[in-house]
Structure 1
Amino acid sequence: MNLSLSESKKKALYGLITQRYDVHMSRFPYAKYPSEPLKEWRKQFAEPQHVRPDMIRSALNWRCGFWQRSNAPFPQKKIAISAIKAWPEFIEQKLTDQAAILSFWMDKLGDTTFGFDAAAFLLHLLHPPDLELADTQRLTAMRDLLAEVGYEVQPEASAYNLVALSLYTEFFRSLLPKMQLQHGERATLRLDRFLMTYGNREALAKLSEKFGPSVEPIVSYLDWDDLNSEHFLPDKILGRANADILFACLLLALDHNPDKASVLTVEGVVELLPLGSGGICNPGSYHYAMIALFGGQKERDFFVFEDEALSKAFTEQANNSTRDMRFYRKHGHAKISINPKYIST
């Protein structure tokens, strides 16, 4: 079966998405779902016989929102353990039929929501050209949006099976051309993120009320071999630790507003470098890197402080094993500027 959406339905659906896009994307947890690892896994899982246990664990941790974190709930950890254990059997069976692959993984991972979502995710990684990334949240978004435009949703769209995943893929790809008109090459990523967020809108709205809106990193991924800046000299950065990554991200972010380099504050820098910048998605690693960024640890000299004593205080915090991980937030109004050695003349 298929959806066979009319142009009027597609237009109405896109209208709903456009109206609600900004609100819901202000709640998307960018640091939990960076796009770069997903791109890499799609390449790796194209050759399932070469997929390692650490790849499976990392991918499934990402899927459940615990990328770069070790505190995933037990049910999620159990899913990863079961998938790793079953992978040799999966390779041995040499399954190519998508329905058979989904059935295999649901048998191993369970027919619960967790099991279906993980099985659908693995199926997507194995067949990304054929099936969009889908889970129960995205399927919920599809059903709710279709219902709003008066499209009668078939029961199959609610099932834990390949039919539902295929319907979602058709739904997604029928909307993509209209998204591309506004969002260009980022249309696929943005539509996927919107549908995930919309399908989980009630929970994310509560989190947003508690913690405030989320911020998409300006530079979410950093390639040291491909740093191009018109106004700054990122090649002068000697280190490659997280603090150095954050400073490189800052220079790239400031490249569009170079005048700000001489009138910065600690708070202003933090605003330009939200969690997830440069691929640093673990909160603990991020907070430590932020403290080290402003200090002189390991001969770093990224900033000129109006109050030089504060620079030394940041260095002391970075070197202290019992450091205050939110130290930088206590000095948000401190005035700083980029060290001239990192500015093009």
Structure 2
Amino acid sequence: MSLTLTEKEKRAIATLIQEQIENQLSRFPFARYPVEPLDEWKRSFCDPASVPSATLKQAISWHFGGWHRKELPSAHGRTVIGIVKTWPEFIQSASFESAQAFRFWEGKLPNWQNGFNATAFLLHLMRPDTFEIADQHRIQAMLELLKAINHQESDRTISRSFQDLEYYSDFFRAIMPKLSFGQKNRIQLDRFLKAYGNRHSYKNVSAAYRTQEPEIKHFSWSDAAAQKFDLSKITLRSNADVLFACLLLSLDKHPIEDSKLTVDNVMERLPLGTAGICNPASFNYAMIALFGSQKGRDYFEWESPALRETFTEQANQSTRDMKFYAKHAEQSITLNPKYVLKKG
């Protein structure tokens, strides 16, 4: 049975979402769920037999919020391994019709709580025109919103069934056009439902904790160009150097009156996930190296020059403090004039 919503109910839910979305997305882990790989994966999964094991593993890991991690939590990792190992059998079974595919994985994955979430994502990749990205957090959010408007099926609970996925996709597609985010309706609704259904996991997190979506999600040295800065002077090509180039691009687009900054200003312009650097360890190391003189880097002039060498020492240590730069957020720095194009 499909979900039925009146126009009044659709508008009521859309209003609830728009009233809360800013607060909910202020903690959304953008770097764990970048949208950029999704279109490529959908093209691949249209023909399941052609999907490489590495792509399969990466896609399912993405759904568990760990596509950038070498290792997932054990329960998630076992589900990913189970799918990768069983994929050849799935291909041979030709169980590509949606309900068949769901039943296949339901019978193969012993931990159905994680298996259901992974199967829901596989169905989305294989049949994106039929199924939205679903999991238990998103479905829970839907049920709570239905309850908030006293919908006739507000007593419904999660059953981890194929019908849950159909029901959720009906809900998503009924609400999406009622939002006011234009071309971002789909992504904003998806993120909101994920965050809202998972909001209780943040109950012990500091109220001051905030996340930020990167402005620069892709970076290519061959395409990067700025009007006010000379990117050709950046000769190194590690993540730290990519981040500095992204900082210059950000300053080019959103200029400041002079070249004076604080470490915090740089952090605001370069959130986790900038240039696709989504692994926290890699990102934090790059941020530390960015501020030091490792390998001859000279990107900033410090109000307290000794700090440059302190950052360099941190970058060179194998047991570095990964949040070292955040502890010096208020320190003043100036862009090295070498990277600023002269006017005229």
TM-score, with length taken from structure 1: 0.90
On the 8 A contact 2:143/2:156 being kept in 1, the answer is no
Cα pair distance change 1:29/1:137, threshold 3 Å: same
Partner of 1:270: 267
Partner of 1:319: 316
CA distance in 2 between counterparts of 1:339 and 1:28 reads 34
Question: How do 1:65-104 and structure 2 match up within 5 A?
Answer: 65-104=65-104
Structure (1/2) with the larger helix percentage: 1
On the 8 A contact 2:230/2:339 being kept in 1, the answer is yes
Q: 1:80 is matched by which residue type in structure 2?
A: V
CA distance in 1 between counterparts of 2:295 and 2:18 reads 47
On the 8 A contact 2:26/2:210 being kept in 1, the answer is yes
Cα pair distance change 1:323/1:158, threshold 3 Å: closer
Partner of 2:145: 145
Deviates more, 1:20-29 or 1:49-58: 49-58
Q: Aligned pairs, how many?
A: 342
Residue 109 (structure 1) shift: 1.5
Cα pair distance change 1:125/1:156, threshold 3 Å: farther
Deviates more, 1:76-85 or 1:232-241: 232-241
Partner of 2:245: 248
Counterpart selection for 2:296 from 286, 296, 299:
299
Give a deviation string over 1:81-101, Cα, whole Å, max 9, x none. 110111111111223310001
Partner of 1:169: 169
Partner of 1:121: 121
Residue 157 (structure 1) shift: 6.8
Cα pair distance change 1:227/1:172, threshold 3 Å: farther
Counterpart selection for 1:194 from 192, 195, 220:
192
Residue segments in structure 2 that go unaligned for 5+ positions in a row: none
CA distance in 2 between counterparts of 1:93 and 1:260 reads 64
Partner of 1:203: 201
Deviates more, 1:182-191 or 1:248-257: 248-257
Could you say what the CA RMSD is over the residues aligned between the two structures, in angstroms? 2.3
Residue 156 (structure 1) shift: 7.3
* 2:286 matches 1:289: yes
Percent identity (aligned): 44
On the 8 A contact 2:146/2:154 being kept in 1, the answer is no
TM-score, with length taken from structure 2: 0.90
Q: 1:326 is matched by which residue type in structure 2?
A: K
Residue segments in structure 1 that go unaligned for 5+ positions in a row: none
CA distance in 2 between counterparts of 1:77 and 1:6 reads 41
Partner of 1:22: 22
CA distance in 1 between counterparts of 2:138 and 2:321 reads 39
Cα pair distance change 1:91/1:155, threshold 3 Å: farther
